[in-house]
Structure 1
């Protein structure tokens, strides 16, 4: 099969003929129809993100495809089924604390790296091998829609955070980094899940205006300044009532003060979920006040990726019509244009934009 191969960090991808993956028990072989190219893929491939990723490797985290073959223990999946290839691979011998690798992207800890060495190659290829549980059925779709369904990969990360905070219909959610790729996906999901209001702070007025146009009066934009205390007050005053929950999707380039200003908007009993990258490249700690957390019964938790059980729920939101994938504009590249796709994704990062490879 053909695949785009990264031989070393900092060098372009090389289109090559490689050996087809061979599956065994507990594995599925999928024909890749569309693979998302994340906006920061260039940072991963250059080594700037410092992800633990052995080379040579076929990059590409996640895809929409059709099952080509299943292992002998598969009882429901059939060749031809449309599936989302979930890149979050978990060890099967650690039920309570599984080791995790993001296939062809990164790994967590020594166990995750061991898992990665086996499931190392990703979806910038004509075929990909995934664990059986990572081939999640999405139902029949038109092949032309495969690119837009790649939005599921971004949406699942946002959905995992909303499930982690037990977000409920009628609540007010503040999305820190609402003008970014993951933040805007969180906005769309919260609206689909019945939010009373979504407070969307950001510095990009054009994007804030676009969010308001898409989602109407339940979307409340807030223009941020460089004054954390003033920003906290502005976000609280913009909301129609107390802020029940905060989702933080700020990237590594943003300082902790911005995250702290958003979290400090919470009502008594409020919840904050941290899903971004603040501090990953250095900088100050989050430093939330102990007395404020304790006296106001605040819950702060981290969430990395999502549980497998989240996938059917998200697919159900799409199938019901509550969540409209039509928000996403897709730019597709053939596998021969993998390097162009990576550059395009970096230059066109932002809400509701998808760059995909179509092998």
Structure 2
């Protein structure tokens, strides 16, 4: 099969003929029809984000495609079924704290690197090998719409954070980093989950206006000044109701000031979920005050990615029309143009714009 290969960090992707994946028990091989390209993928493949990724590798995190072959443990998947391939692969030998690798992107620790030895090859290829439990049926979809369904791996990340927060219908949620790629997706997901109001702070006033235009009165935007106390007061005043949940999705390039301003805008007995990349490249610690956390009964938790069942739940939200994938504009590239797709995603991807590689056309 054909696949794009990263030989070393900083080198261009080369499209090569590589061996077809070999099916084993507990696995599924999928013909990849569409694979999304993350806006920061080029940073990862240049080595700038210092992700754990064993080279050489076929990159690509997540895909939509059709089942090619299934193992003996699959009792409902059939050859030809449309599926979402979840890139979050978990080891099966520790139910409480499984090791995790993000297929074709990164790993968490040495256990994740061991998973990469078998499941490390990603979706910028004609075929993809995934664990059986990572292939989620989509039902009957049109081939032309496969790129649209590539929005799901992006939307799953903030969905995992909002599930961790226990967001309930009617509550007010503040999305820290709302003008970014994951943050703007989080606004849509929160509304689909029934949030009564979404507070969207950010510095990009054009994107703030776009969020209001797309989603209407349930979204309240807050232009950030950079002064922590001022911004916290603005967030609380804009909300009008107490802020029940804060979800932080700011990237590694952001400082701690906007994170702290947003977190401390949460109400007494509220929940703060930290899911972004602040501090990953060095810098100051967040420094939330102990007395404030304790006396106000604040719940603070970290969340990396999402639980497995989130895939099925989010697919249902999209199938029922509560989550509208048509918000995303799609730009498509052939597999032979994988490097051009990376460049396009870096400059034009994100914020309701998806860059997609289409390695195969289903029969």
Shift, 1:117, TM fit: 1.2
Residue matched to 1:211: 211
| Cα deviation, residue 111, structure 1 | 1.0
The CA distance in 2 between the partners of 1:168 and 1:240, in whole Å, is 18
**Residue in 1 that maps onto 2:73:** 73
Deviation at 1:27, TM superposition (A): 0.4
- Structure 2 distance, partners of 1:342, 1:331, is 12
State how 1:257-296 maps to structure 2 within 5 Å: 257-296=257-296
> 1:131 is matched with which residue?
131
> Contact conserved, 2:100 with 2:107, CA < 8 A, in 1?
yes
How do 1:1-359 and structure 2 match up within 5 A? 1-359=1-359
Q: How many residues align?
A: 359
| SS of residue matched to 2:31 | strand
Cα distance in 2 for partners of 1:189, 1:226 equals: 27
Q: Which aligned runs of 4 or more in structure 1 are off by greater than 3 angstroms?
A: none
User: Deviation at 1:5?
Assistant: 0.4
Q: CA deviation at 1:350?
A: 3.1
Mapped contact 2:6–2:56 kept (Cα < 8 A):
yes
Equivalent-residue separation in structure 1 for 2:74 and 2:320 (angstroms): 28
CA contact under 8 A between 1:179 and 1:350: conserved in structure 2? no
For 1:349 and 1:259, the matched residues in 2 are separated by: 24
SS in 2 for 1:65: strand
Contact 1:31 1:68 in 2 (8 A): yes
Deviation of 1:236 (Å): 0.5
How much has 1:312 moved relative to structure 2? 1.0
Q: CA deviation at 1:94?
A: 0.5
1:287-311 CA-to-partner distances (Å, cap 9, x unmatched) read: 0000000000000101101111111
Could you list the runs of 5+ residues in structure 2 that have no partner in the other structure? Answer: none
For 2:20 and 2:103, the matched residues in 1 are separated by 17
Q: Is the 8 A contact 1:197 1:240 kept in 2?
A: no
Deviation for aligned residue 1:314: 0.4
Give the superposition deviation at 1:249. Answer: 0.2
Task: State the TM-score, normalized to the length of structure 1.
Answer: 0.99
Determine helix, strand or coil for the equivalent of 2:273.
Answer: strand
Report the secondary structure of 1:222's partner residue. Answer: strand
Consecutive unaligned residues of structure 1, counting only runs of 5 or more, are none
Q: CA deviation at 1:240?
A: 2.1
- In structure 2, C-alpha distance between the alignment counterparts of 1:322 and 1:95, rounded to whole Å: 32
Contact 1:103/1:121, CA 8 A, preserved across alignment: yes
TM-score (norm 2): 0.98
- Counterpart-to-counterpart distance in 1, 2:86 and 2:357: 16
User: Any idea what the Cα deviations from partners look like across 1:3-36, whole Å, max 9, x if unmatched?
Assistant: 0000010000001111100011000000000000
Residues 235-279 of structure 1: CA deviation (Å, up to 9, x unaligned): 000002110000000000001111001001010001011110000
Q: State the secondary structure of the residue aligned to 2:277.
A: coil
CA displacement 1:187-220 (0-9 Å, x = unmatched):
0011111111100000111110010011111100
